[in-house]
Every structure is written in structure tokens, then in C-alpha cells.
Amino acid sequence: MKAWRGHLLLLVLIGGLTGLHALNHRNESQLRGDLTGFLGTSKSPGNQLSSLALIADLHLLLNRPEPISTAEGQRITELLLASDDPLLREYALTTDLCRLSERAADQIPEIQEQRVLGTNPLPLDGPWWREYVTYRRKVGGKQVGGRKRLDNLELGWYRQALRGEDPPREALFEHLVKRVRDAHVGPIPRGQ
């Protein structure tokens, strides 16, 4: 019987975790109910829920088997990008919403591309760099230029941006120009 004690303990642990999950599980109607203030005509989307709770609810809702329409995904993206909260704006540039956005002929999500690269001249400040890295490097993939991983210099600038500092504008601009030139040279690395 001694050999089964560990197994019984693990079965009790699994049962407890399953029960805890069942108690905390919310179905789609509950998630949509929590998001009605955000999806409604509210001017300030973050008021009804905290930003982290809103992102958690959206992540759960957007990754359920029940499909969300492209129109609804587009509306959610527009509301997030219009928010005053940088966390909500950056979430709009993630995979959850990029895959629901209307796409150009070359499979680029239009609203996210316009947000990150649609201004002339580019801001090249800390908040823009965070959005650029989130969209271009982490999410967009080869369609939007994210063929290579972040190098140490880009990662250092990203850490600066997370601390609220701006990366050096001239060096950042030169680096981006060089990356664009190098983007079409050679094969796409494996796993990208």
C-alpha cells in the first residue's frame, strides 16, 4: 500500500485543481457580460474593468472555440487603440487581435500596421518603440518584417522603453533602415 500513497496524493491534487478550475470557469456569456461596458459606447474603455482584468477577459474570449467576427474584432481593436492606457493600446497589437483584423492583400493587419507605421515622420520614442516591437517583432511575422529575432541593441532599447526612457533617435533610425535593407537578403531563419 505504501507505493500507492504518492499516487493517491497526486489524484487528490488533480481533483482539487479540477474543482478549482470548474469554480472559476466563466462561459462566453459571462465574459461578454463583463465586457459590455467596453464593447458598448463607452468613451473610456478601461473604466468598467481594470486594464489587466479587461485584457484577461478579452484573451479568454478571443481564444475560445466560438469564433469572433472580423467586424467585432476590428471594433475591439479600434477601442483599445483609442484608449488612454498604454497597456490596452499594446494589447491591440498582439496576436489575439491581429488575427481578427481586416487584412490587406499581402496579409498585413491594416489597423495595426497603420497604428505603428502610419505616421510620417515616425515618432521613434519609447512608447512607439514598445508598440513597434510588440507588433512587428513579436506578432507580425515575416509579412510585416519580423524575420529576425531582437538583437542585443534592440533589446536594450526595449528595456529602456519599458523604464519610460526614449531610445537614441538617430541610432534607432539608422538601425531600422539597416534592418529594412537586410530584411530581403538571405533565407528566412527556421522557426520564424
- Quote the CA–CA distance of 134 and 162 in Å, as a whole number: 12
pLDDT at 159: 94
- What are residue 109's DSSP bridge partners? 103
- Quote the CA–CA distance of 190 and 192 in Å, as a whole number: 6
Helices 110-117 and 70-81 meet at what angle, rounded to 10? 20
The rounded mean pLDDT for the chain is 79
- Inter-CA distances, 81 with 46, 54, 62, 77, Å: 12, 14, 17, 6
pLDDT higher at 159 or 102: 159
pLDDT higher at 90 or 103: 90
C-alpha cell at 160: 529602456
* Averaged pLDDT for residues 82-88: 89
- Quote the CA–CA distance of 83 and 131 in Å, as a whole number: 14
pLDDT at 105: 66
> Residue 24 — pLDDT band, cuts 50, 70, 90?
confident
pTM for the whole thing? 0.69
